[in-house]
Amino acid sequence: MTVVAPSLLSADFARLADEIRRVEDAGADWLHLDVMDGHFVPNLTFGPPVIAALRPHTRLPFDVHLMIEPVDPQLAAFREAGADWITVHVEACPHLHRTIQAIRQLGAKTGVALNPATSEETVRHILPELDLVLVMSVNPGFGGQSYLPLVEDKIRTIRGWIKERGLATRLSVDGGIGPSTAPRVLSAGADVLVAGSAVFGAPDAKRAIAALRGSIAPEP
């Protein structure tokens, strides 16, 4: 089952609760929350207080994508704010295995994100510890950037490892995902689609989500 996770980064920040309700009613599966620190990435968004304020407004699982460095001191605050999935960047975590264990101890699902230039080898050995791998198909920092097709080989390789080892790890793709790029990442093996501008920027969010979901025939 393909999961569609609209990224709040492209929502109207003056009306966040309404925007979340709009995509929840439109059939979103998860809500993707992009946390940026102006240091690991060249942009700033929001932190635990905003996430905590939004938590009572929706039943959607919160898929929190942390683009911050250092990350370890902040993990508990994001979990307390309501993060169900916590994804950290391999490039921001010198002791990645320890960070993953800390996320698990907090009771959240564990995720690791890879920038476009980062090799899949960085997660190969810890794959059984991960509930999610997030392959970035743009350089993180901004919504509305163009999809980088170079990520498709990486998606295929990671999907192969997940299958070989019989894991339940989710494989997510984030950046430039819309109706024309979704089929490419789905056929490469992704099963979570993060989409900001393609959902929040569309006049009809329900159609936009259906277009992403229906962009490939289900496996027989």
From residue 162, alpha-carbon distances to 84, 132, 186 in Å are 22, 11, 15
Part of the chain binding ligand DX5 (CB under 6 A), chosen from 11-19, 21-29, 133-141, 165-173: 133-141
Site string for Zn ion, 55-94 (x = CB under 5 A): ----------x-----------------------------
Helix, strand or coil for residue 49? Answer: helix
Site string for ligand DX5, 134-153 (x = CB under 6 A): ----x-xx-xxx--------
Q: Residue 27, by phi and psi: left (phi above 0), alpha (psi -120 to 50) or beta?
A: left
Site string for ligand DX5, 37-76 (x = CB under 6 A): ----------------------------x-----------
* Residue 193 φ/ψ, nearest 5 degrees: -110, 120
Residues 124-183 that bind Zn ion (CB under 5 A): 174
Clarify whether 29 is annotated catalytic.
no
Between CA 155 and CA 172 the distance in angstroms is 9
From candidates 7, 45, 74, 110, binder to ligand DX5 by CB under 6 A: 7
Q: Does residue 177 interact with ligand DX5 by CB under 6 A?
A: yes
Q: Does residue 197 interact with ligand DX5 by CB under 6 A?
A: yes
DSSP structural state of residue 115: -
Q: Pick the closer one to ligand DX5 by CB: 29 or 34.
A: 34
From residue 61, alpha-carbon distances to 46, 116, 185, 218 in Å are 18, 26, 22, 23
Between CA 181 and CA 179 the distance in angstroms is 6
Site of interaction with ligand DX5 (CB under 6 A): 7, 9-10, 32, 34, 65, 138, 140-141, 143-145, 174-177, 194-198
